[in-house]
A and B are shown apart, each in its own frame.
Chain A
């Protein structure tokens, strides 16, 4: 027994309820007011169909066995004359049964080709449990709701796929320049294609083309093009990619024009 008044706890309890009465309730009026979710909320699993190689890792790792994959092999004709024909897998069906899925995300983690992503979309409840099995068309649509990956830190190493792509492009340009060299004997600078300064700019059209490679432009979204594509009904993802490409193209043209003006 404390020194306080007997049964004062009853009044304290009344105080607590009265205070709660006057506070704003914590309820979220969900269908009327959309919840304010973190951008990377794990709502549903989306499929980037183009990246899928039908390796079946996701289906095998899935603890619930809720991923269904059907595929067939196709023979690809040889790239070079006399080489052996290759085969490749073509995805026929990719479905996730969200009635079974426990949203563990193992499939997303395990995918070696970046084909599976978490999407923040969560409003896909249905009246029938059968409708919860979503096919690849729907999974591809959800891909558009996946937020872009976070920005790299300043000074970070270029991601491997980008540096690889740049190296390949450079190599192709060198090859085309080498092919052009015998056709245009005057263009001696063509041999130094990789590091050639503006000296070769005055040369023929192919020479100007190869020079593009040493113009580096930080990719940004061209808002005008983006808005136009969105207005045309293109998906966000496609619009974003095309807008970036358009921006890079425009910037490069501008820099090229500048350099030509200087020389």
Chain B
């Protein structure tokens, strides 16, 4: 299946459908992942996590994030007196929207994508780095020293880890011979290493680990949460935010987790195929099955992110920078060379 299921004769209707689908996924998936984070983090600390808020008879805190969202809506929207009002007000949106836009190009199943761009990988990585601007805007406009420090840390960290992220993705692009995310999934489907069908994560295990690590740092997730370290700089750029704008930052964090996991799934774990070489049934059944497999892989990766958060202490700023510039980036460059050589030889 080479076309999106949203490709209809009526371009406007198709556009509407795509927007609705992307928005729905964007609003639902972070809630599910956020709930998982609450529960997994709780149980990893020998407690239950949210238990009371529920939807009707189903308890165990399933409605916790919905309730939190409603609470954020009701809160007063405070803008500090000395803040740069317009920049302050715009920043959460600038941080949030890139995560939503990346969803446009990510394939979730056979035919389940809004756009199949020829430069999918480039588009996704380029857009994801825009959210840094949102963080910097928030940090600067808050007129708060903690926010500013957090923003500077975020800028330094995101520049440092953007590189290994892009280089690890570039190795996959070299291997697949295409920049299109759908194309990468299909190329991975027919990929074999020494006659055995495997996803790219096997020959490029190093690249996968680097991509995942760099993604953690890009999202400011522990152990790379120096920019939002609540113990020392009170959540960094989010210090002055309240209510719905704060919720936007939270949402962009969870949406970022979903998006980065989805990218890793597509690039390294074979996308919507259970295993390269294992075909899916055609039609709606295949699309549903493919979606379920993709979501399963994404959930697993998000779980690992939460697992890391529960386990690892925060890296110091100099450790963090050294790790990227002296270890990750040289390794990523080496990996590209090795992959290119094997690609030419094969």
Does residue A20 face the partner (Cβ distance < 8 Å to B)? yes
Interface pair A29/B307, CB less than 8 Å apart: no
Does residue B40 face the partner (Cβ distance < 8 Å to A)? yes
Task: Tell me which residues from 14 to 41 in chain A have a Cβ below 8 Å from any Cβ of chain B.
Answer: 14, 16-18, 20-21, 23, 25-27, 29
**Contacts A27-B47, A27-B48, A29-B51 known; A21 to B311 CB distance under 8 Å?**
no
Chain B interface residue bracket vs A: 10 to 19
Name the B residues within 8 Å of A6 (CB-CB): none
Does residue B46 face the partner (Cβ distance < 8 Å to A)? yes
Interface pair B311/A14, CB less than 8 Å apart: yes
Interface pair A29/B44, CB less than 8 Å apart: no
Interface pair A20/B46, CB less than 8 Å apart: yes
- Give complex CA distance A16, B42 in Å: 14
The residue of chain A having its C-beta at the shortest distance from the C-beta of B313 within the complex is A13
Interface pair A25/B312, CB less than 8 Å apart: no
Q: Which of A10, A21, A23 contacts B312 (CB 8 A)?
A: A10
Nearest-neighbour CB distance to chain B for A25, whole angstroms, equals 5
Name the A residues within 8 Å of B51 (CB-CB): 29
- Give complex CA distance A29, B47 in Å: 10
- Give complex CA distance A17, B311 in Å: 6
Task: Tell me which residues from 105 to 150 in chain A have a Cβ below 8 Å from any Cβ of chain B.
Answer: none
Chain A interface residue bracket vs B: 10 to 19
Interface pair A26/B311, CB less than 8 Å apart: no
Name the B residues within 8 Å of A25 (CB-CB): 42-43, 46-48
The residue of chain A having its C-beta at the shortest distance from the C-beta of B304 within the complex is A14
- Give complex CA distance A13, B51 in Å: 27
- Give complex CA distance A20, B46 in Å: 6
Does residue B155 face the partner (Cβ distance < 8 Å to A)? no
Does residue B45 face the partner (Cβ distance < 8 Å to A)? yes
**Contacts A27-B47, A29-B48 known; A18 to B312 CB distance under 8 Å?**
no
- Give complex CA distance A13, B312 in Å: 7
Interface pair B44/A20, CB less than 8 Å apart: yes
- Give complex CA distance A18, B308 in Å: 10
Name the B residues within 8 Å of A16 (CB-CB): 311
Nearest-neighbour CB distance to chain A for B131, whole angstroms, equals 28
Interface pair B43/A21, CB less than 8 Å apart: yes
| Most chain A Cβ neighbours within 10 Å, of B308, B310, B311, B312 | B311
* Interface 0/1 of B274-310, CB less than 8 Å to A: 0000000000000000000000000000000001101
Nearest-neighbour CB distance to chain B for A249, whole angstroms, equals 53
- Give complex CA distance A29, B59 in Å: 13
Name the A residues within 8 Å of B47 (CB-CB): 25-27
Nearest-neighbour CB distance to chain B for A89, whole angstroms, equals 51
* Interface 0/1 of B80-101, CB less than 8 Å to A: 0000000000000000000000
Nearest-neighbour CB distance to chain B for A252, whole angstroms, equals 57
Interface pair B45/A20, CB less than 8 Å apart: yes
Nearest-neighbour CB distance to chain B for A7, whole angstroms, equals 11
Name the B residues within 8 Å of A23 (CB-CB): 46
Task: Tell me which residues from 10 to 53 in chain B have a Cβ below 8 Å from any Cβ of chain A.
Answer: 40, 42-48, 51
The residue of chain A having its C-beta at the shortest distance from the C-beta of B310 within the complex is A17
Nearest-neighbour CB distance to chain B for A45, whole angstroms, equals 32
* Interface 0/1 of B298-333, CB less than 8 Å to A: 000000000110111000000000000000000000
Q: Which of B43, B48, B312 contacts A20 (CB 8 A)?
A: B43
Nearest-neighbour CB distance to chain A for B205, whole angstroms, equals 15
The residue of chain B having its C-beta at the shortest distance from the C-beta of A24 within the complex is B46
Interface pair B307/A18, CB less than 8 Å apart: yes
Interface pair A26/B44, CB less than 8 Å apart: no
- Give complex CA distance A27, B51 in Å: 11
Apart from A10-B312, A14-B307, A21-B40: 9 A-B pairs, beta carbons within 8 A: A13-B311, A16-B311, A20-B43, A25-B42, A25-B47, A27-B46, A27-B47, A27-B48, A29-B51
B residues in contact (CB < 8 Å) with A: 40, 42-48, 51, 307-308, 310-312
A residues in contact (CB < 8 Å) with B: 10, 13-14, 16-18, 20-21, 23, 25-27, 29
Q: Can you report 19 A-B residue pairs in the complex whose CB atoms are below 8 A from each other? A: A14-B307, A14-B308, A14-B311, A17-B307, A17-B310, A18-B44, A20-B46, A21-B40, A21-B43, A21-B44, A25-B42, A25-B47, A25-B48, A26-B46, A26-B47, A27-B46, A27-B47, A29-B48, A29-B51
